[in-house]
Amino acid sequence: MKKQYLEAGKIVTTHGIRGEVKVMPYTDTPELLCEFDRLFIGKNHEEIGVERSRVFKSTVIMKLEGIDTPEAAEKLRNKLLYMHRDDLELDEDTYFIQDLIGLEVRDADTDAVYGKITDVMQTGANDVYVITGEREYLVPAIADVVVSTDVDGGVMTIRPLEGLFD
C-alpha cells in the first residue's frame, strides 16, 4: 500500500525575524523541496502553504503561510513536513524509497526469495538496496541487476551479479 503522504523534511530551527524556518530536506536534493507551494505538517498532515523557499547550504530556508514571527516559527521546531504523492511526478523506473521498503526480493531465474528490502543506501554512484533474509545482502540498484519492480504487487525481481551472494 503506497503512502499518500511522504516525509519531505524536518524543521530544525528558526531563521531570522520574519518567521522563516530552516528545514533539513529528506529529498535527493534540497532544490527539490523548493518546488512545492504546499506541504503538510505534523502527524495529522495539516496543509500549509509555502510562500517562498531557498536553498541554504544543504538545508532549505522556508517561509510558511501564517508563520510571521520567530515565536510562531519556534513552535514548529522538530515537526516533520510531508509532501503529497500526487504533487510530485516521478520518471519511469524511479520510486520513492518509502515504497521500496518492505518489497519482497526474488530471483528472476529461480524464483528464490532472498528477503525483503529493509533500507536503501544512497552512495552517490547508485543506490544500494539492503535486503534482509536469512542474512543481509547489499544489492546495487542498477539495470544489470534489477529486472523488475512491482510496488503494487510488493515484489522486486533481481538477477544477481556473479559472486554477489557468495
Q: Tell me the average pLDDT across 70-75.
A: 96
Contacts of 117 (CB under 8 A, 6+ apart): 100, 101, 102, 103, 105, 129, 130, 131, 156
| Domain co-membership, 14 together with 48 | yes
Of 58, 87, 116, the residue that ends a domain is 87
Q: What is the per-residue pLDDT for 65?
A: 97
The count of domains in the chain is 2
Q: Are residues 129 and 75 in the same domain?
A: no
> Is the confidence at residue 138, as pLDDT, over 60?
yes
Percentage of the chain with pLDDT > 90?
Answer: 64
Position 128 in a domain: yes
Same domain, 78 and 24: yes
> 32 with 77, same domain?
yes
39 phi/psi in degrees, rounded to 5: -135, 180
Clarify whether residues 28 and 82 are in a common domain: yes
Q: Would you say 64 and 70 are in contact if contact means Cβ atoms under 8 Å apart?
A: no
Assign residue 123 the CATH number of its domain: 2.30.30.240
Which pLDDT value is given to residue 152? 84
Pick from 59, 87, 115: which residue ends a domain?
Answer: 87
- By residue range, what is the domain housing residue 141? 97-158
What percent of the chain has a predicted confidence (pLDDT) above 70?
98
